[in-house]
Amino acid sequence: MKSRIQVWAAGAVLALAAASVQAQGYPNRPVRLIVPFAPGGFTDVVARILGQKMSQSLGQQFVVENKAGAGSTIGSDLVAKAPPDGYTLLMVSSTHVISPWIYKSLPYDPIKSFTVVGKLVDSPYVLLVHPKVPAKNVQEFIALAKSRPEEIHYASSGNGSAQHLMGGMFVAMTGAPLKHVPYKGSSGAATDLVAGVVESSFAGVPNALAQVPQGRLKALAVTTGKRAPQLPDVPTLQEAGVAGYDASVWLALLAPAGTPPEIVAKLNTEIAKLMNAPDTKKALFDAGVEPSPSSPEEMTTYMTQELTRWGKVVKDAGIKLE
C-alpha cells in the first residue's frame, strides 16, 4: 500500500512540474481566440483589440475565429470540448449565462465546462430608434408602442442574445408591446435599423457612436445605472422613468475546464497589465466599453450570480425561442 501511495505522490509531483514547465513556455504556438458571434459585433471588436495586444506582448499570434450561431452556443461548445492546454480560448458575453435558460438542452455546462481566465470589460446597451419614430424620449416611446400594439419592433442579434434580453426586460418592466425581430448578428440588426426596416434596438455603444452624431438614429437612453462616458447627454433608463432598470453587457475570457492554473494565472496577469495600458484604454473607450478586469475567482462568482439573475429575467419576461 505504501509503495502505491509513493508512486501516486511521485506522479502528482511530476504532473505539477510538467504543468509548471508548460506554463513557463506558454505560448509557444498560435492561440485560437474563439468569438461565438458574427464578425463586426460588440464582442468581435473587443476580441480583435485584445488579440492584437496579446500577440504583441506574448510573442505569439492570438488568432480571432468567429464561430457564430445558436445564441453563442456553437462556439462555446467547440471550446468546451477543446484540449485544456491554453491554446483555445473563448470570449463570452452576458449571452453565455442567458443561453441555458433559452435552449432546452446544451452540450456543456456554462460554469463547470470552463475555466474562467477573468472579466474583461463592461458596457451599457443603448435604446436606439429610427428618426421616423415620433418619440423624443423614453416615455413618449412607451406611449407610442402602447398606442400601436406590436407595430413597433426591436431588432436583436438573435434569439437569446443580450440584445434580446435587454428588450425583453424593457417590455416586461414598461408594458410596451414591442415585437422582437431576431437577426443572425448585430450587424444585420444595425443595418435594418438605420434603413428603417425596424423601428428600434437595444444596441452596443459603438453602434450609437457610429450613427447618432450623424442623425441617422436617435439615442433615447442607456441600460446601466450610470450614464455612458461616450454618451454623456443620453440619460439612463432609470432617469427616463423606468425605475429599477439596470443591466450591462460584460465580456469575459474562458478556457476549457482543466486548463493548468499556471497558464490561467499568466493570461490573467497579462490581461490586467494590458487593460491598464493607456493605448488599450483608449482603444476600448473608442469601442464603447470600459475595462473591468477581475481575478478568475471573482468572475466565476459573478457569472454564477448572473446565471441566476438572467434566469429570472427570462422567466418574468416570458422569453422563448421564436
Are 10 and 92 members of one domain? Answer: yes
Residue 79 has pLDDT above 50, yes or no: yes
Are 27 and 48 members of one domain? Answer: yes
Answer whether residue 215 is part of any domain.
yes
pLDDT digits (tens, 9 = 90+) for 245-280: 999 999 999 999 999 999 999 999 999 999 999 999
pLDDT digits (tens, 9 = 90+) for 115-174: 999 999 999 999 999 999 999 999 999 999 999 998 999 999 888 888 999 999 999 999
Range of the domain at 48: 2-122+250-317
- At 8 the pLDDT is 60
- At 71 the pLDDT is 82
Buried b (16+ CB within 10 A) or exposed e, 77-108: bbbbebebbbbbbbbbbbbbbbbbbbeeebeb
Higher pLDDT, 70 or 221: 221
> Could you say which of 204, 222, 240 is where a domain stops?
222
- At 5 the pLDDT is 59
pLDDT digits (tens, 9 = 90+) for 202-250: 999 988 999 999 999 999 999 999 999 999 999 999 999 999 999 999 9
Higher pLDDT, 263 or 288: 263
CATH number at residue 208: 3.40.190.10
pLDDT band, residue 186 (cuts 50/70/90): confident
Are 256 and 118 members of one domain? Answer: yes
Neighbours of 266 (CB within 10 A): 18
Helix axes 2-24, 261-275, angle to 10 degrees: 30
**Range among 103-107, 193-197, 205-209 with highest mean pLDDT value:** 193-197
Distance CA 123, CA 251 (A): 9
Are 94 and 178 members of one domain? Answer: no
pLDDT digits (tens, 9 = 90+) for 49-64: 999 999 999 999 999 9
Are 24 and 87 members of one domain? Answer: yes
Are 95 and 144 members of one domain? Answer: no
Non-local (6+) Cβ contacts of 129 within 8 A are 135, 141, 199, 200, 217, 218, 220
Are 87 and 22 members of one domain? Answer: yes
Are 32 and 112 members of one domain? Answer: yes
Neighbours of 52 (CB within 10 A): 15
Are 68 and 211 members of one domain? Answer: no
Answer whether residue 288 is part of any domain.
yes
Residue 111 has pLDDT above 50, yes or no: yes
Are 116 and 144 members of one domain? Answer: no
Distance CA 64, CA 34 (A): 6
Residue 321 has pLDDT above 80, yes or no: no
Answer whether residue 239 is part of any domain.
no
Domain count, the chain: 2
Mean of the per-residue pLDDT values of the chain: 91
Distance CA 107, CA 153 (A): 32
Phi, psi (rounded to 5 degrees) for 239 = -65, -30
Are 100 and 56 members of one domain? Answer: yes
